[in-house]
A and B are shown apart, each in its own frame.
Chain A
Amino acid sequence: MSGYNFAYLDESTKRMIRRAILKAVAIPGHQVPFGSREMPLPYGWGTGGIQVTAAVLGPTDVLKVIDQGSDDTTNAVSIRAFFRRTAGIATTESTDAATIIQTRHRIPERKLREDQILVYQVPIPEPLGRLEPRIAETRRMHGMADYGLMHVKLYEDIARHGHIATSYSYPVMVNGRYLMSPSPIPAFDNPKMDQMPALQLFGAGREKRIYAVPPYTSVKSLDFDDHPFRPIRAPHACELCGSRDTYLDEVLTDDVGGRIFVCSDTDFCAERQAMKEAAE
């Protein structure tokens, strides 16, 4: 598209974002402020992720965008179209073929590789925000690794519900130092972040923060010795591909209580269905 720079953002903005990304990679889990720009989509739709993607995108990259694990929801389709038009790059729905994957809510089921980058759209980067409303104080707590408060939250969960009831945006310790919110991915996906070969970048547009987990970095979900972390999934098999170890969405099929459970990762599910058909 003429009149725009490659991947929409001008080069000096990209340089500013790359500097923030480099700093974030150097201090795993630490939130780095950056000059978030106005993007042609509303806050909460992925302005942070889209800026990070624009900054790391090259002409030979292949982009995949998922929203709630799905490749064909409005947001995923629109962001792919946005980069196809502004950068002229190839897009894909296949996790395997992608070099950059922008995501909201999920980590793909297929294991990611060293030559891939996972970009998260983050609505609320501050894991302590709900417990300590003063930003200056939460930054001080990060600076001093004063994280007792986060365990108070988990304690309250167990006292009230008998188990840790936090099922998404479950807080993690990165590299044994920084407490990090993994964005609203289900707790089920938390273990995938640990020692992941791919680079993980997090962008929060409204809150103007970038943070990162470099490849092969330790990411541990917080828990208690006698109440260890458990990834939670619906106890069903996928209606379409029969998988029993993937994260499932519950889908209503009619207005008389009919419902089915299907894989939330549409690409993974389609791949398995194709394999099943080929075998038959």
Chain B
Amino acid sequence: MSTPLLTARDLTLRFGRIAALDGVGLEIHPGEVVAIVGESGSGKTTLLRVLSGLMRPDGGEVSYLGQDVLGMSEAARRRLMRTEWGFVHQNPRDGLRMAVSAGGNIGERLMATGARHYGNIREQAAHWLTRVEIDPARMDEVPAKFSGGMQQRLQIARTLVTLPKLVFMDEPTGGLDVSVQARLLDLIRALVADLGLAVLIVTHDIAAARLLAHRMLVMRHGVVVESGLTDRVLDDPQHPYTQLLVSSVLAA
């Protein structure tokens, strides 16, 4: 098997008396989509923030291609964050600059990594808008004029423009209605397959996880209670909590 892109071991983090992470470990390989599911407050988002270096755990280690993520300098981590990593927030307002045009939003990562040719930046922006199914003619509009689904797609375009290897997604379909969700999931699936991205996706939507993820981890009270191939976990849940979670999904 290939060497893992990201490895985490024995992560622990407490918020007072509450254990947000309690001995969590995981591996992500290149091109793999891993979903973390669980109810609200189970530590999913905290895990994502710790893995991406936004938050320091009390104990444990995270390594990315052999580099110690928690020990690296802030400059190195920021460089990683704007080149080889991407972060898609649940709320597009957290990931976009709302007062900057769509083209400027997509171009920001390019300019941060040294692109200095206006024409090329615009060309790239138009290309990525097309890829996320936004009309390139709307390149100079600010995201505030876009619908929620479009804002989320714009955030994805902005993240993928530097062709990252690993993308963290925090509830990317949260707050969208079902038809828009379906379209977004379809788009993410196509992009992931095309670009060979590794994605770590946090969601409470079991259906979304089944559609996107190769593997999944089920979290509860800061502990990974079950993990494995998505179909195995969902079709043959072993842990009582996973059984409850799977049986709670509404079928339309």
| Residues of A participating in the B interface, judged by any CB pair closer than 8 Å | 140, 143-144, 146-149, 151-152, 155-156, 158-160, 223-227
Q: Is B140 close to A, CB under 8 A?
A: yes
Question: Provided the pairs A159-B104, A225-B116, A226-B119 are in contact, do residues A151 and B111 lie with their beta carbons within 8 angstroms?
Answer: yes
A227 to chain B: which residues have CB within 8 Å? 118
Cα-based distance from A146 to B108 in the complex (angstroms): 11
Cα-based distance from A131 to B97 in the complex (angstroms): 9
The 6 closest A-B pairs by CB, nearest first: A148-B112, A151-B111, A224-B118, A148-B111, A225-B117, A144-B75
Question: Provided the pairs A152-B100, A152-B104, A156-B100 are in contact, do residues A144 and B117 lie with their beta carbons within 8 angstroms?
Answer: no
Q: Besides A149-B112, A156-B100, A156-B101, 6 other CB < 8 A contacts? A: A144-B78, A148-B82, A152-B108, A152-B111, A155-B121, A160-B101
Closest A residue to B140 by CB, please name it: A159
B97 to chain A: which residues have CB within 8 Å? 152
Q: Is B107 close to A, CB under 8 A?
A: yes
Chain A: minimal CB distance from B216 (Å): 35
Which residue of the partner chain, among B74, B75, B104, contacts A155 with CB atoms under 8 Å? B104
Cα-based distance from A223 to B115 in the complex (angstroms): 11
Contact A155 B103 (CB under 8 A): yes
Contact A158 B118 (CB under 8 A): yes
Q: Is B109 close to A, CB under 8 A?
A: yes
Contact B112 A155 (CB under 8 A): no
Can you pick out 6 interface pairs between chain A and chain B where the beta carbons lie within 8 Å of each other? A144-B78, A152-B108, A155-B118, A159-B122, A224-B117, A226-B117
Contact B107 A155 (CB under 8 A): yes
B104 to chain A: which residues have CB within 8 Å? 152, 155-156, 159
Contact B101 A159 (CB under 8 A): yes
Contact with A along B113-133 (1 / 0, CB 8 A): 100111101100000000000
Contact A160 B140 (CB under 8 A): yes
Q: How large is the interface on B (under 10, 10 to 19, 20 to 34, 35 or more residues)?
A: 20 to 34
Contact B117 A148 (CB under 8 A): no
A158 to chain B: which residues have CB within 8 Å? 118
Which of B82, B116, B122 has the most chain A CB atoms inside 10 A of its CB? B116
Closest A residue to B105 by CB, please name it: A152
Cα-based distance from A86 to B121 in the complex (angstroms): 56
Which of B117, B118, B119 has the most chain A CB atoms inside 10 A of its CB? B118
Closest B residue to A222 by CB, please name it: B116
B82 to chain A: which residues have CB within 8 Å? 148
Chain A: minimal CB distance from B162 (Å): 11
Closest B residue to A143 by CB, please name it: B75
Closest B residue to A223 by CB, please name it: B116
Closest B residue to A225 by CB, please name it: B117
A223 to chain B: which residues have CB within 8 Å? 116
B139 to chain A: which residues have CB within 8 Å? 159
Cα-based distance from A38 to B35 in the complex (angstroms): 59
Chain B: minimal CB distance from A163 (Å): 10
B122 to chain A: which residues have CB within 8 Å? 159
B117 to chain A: which residues have CB within 8 Å? 224-226
Chain A: minimal CB distance from B175 (Å): 25
Cα-based distance from A224 to B121 in the complex (angstroms): 10
Question: Provided the pairs A152-B107, A155-B121, A225-B117 are in contact, do residues A146 and B100 lie with their beta carbons within 8 angstroms?
Answer: no
Closest A residue to B115 by CB, please name it: A151
A143 to chain B: which residues have CB within 8 Å? 75
Which of A143, A147, A155 has the most chain B CB atoms inside 10 A of its CB? A155
Chain B: minimal CB distance from A110 (Å): 33
A226 to chain B: which residues have CB within 8 Å? 117-119
A160 to chain B: which residues have CB within 8 Å? 101, 140
Cα-based distance from A223 to B109 in the complex (angstroms): 17
A155 to chain B: which residues have CB within 8 Å? 103-104, 107, 111, 118, 121
Question: Provided the pairs A156-B104, A159-B104 are in contact, do residues A151 and B116 lie with their beta carbons within 8 angstroms?
Answer: yes
A151 to chain B: which residues have CB within 8 Å? 111, 116
Chain B: minimal CB distance from A195 (Å): 22
Contact A148 B118 (CB under 8 A): no
Which residue of the partner chain, among A140, A148, A156, contacts B109 with CB atoms under 8 Å? A148
Contact with A along B61-86 (1 / 0, CB 8 A): 00000000000001100100010000
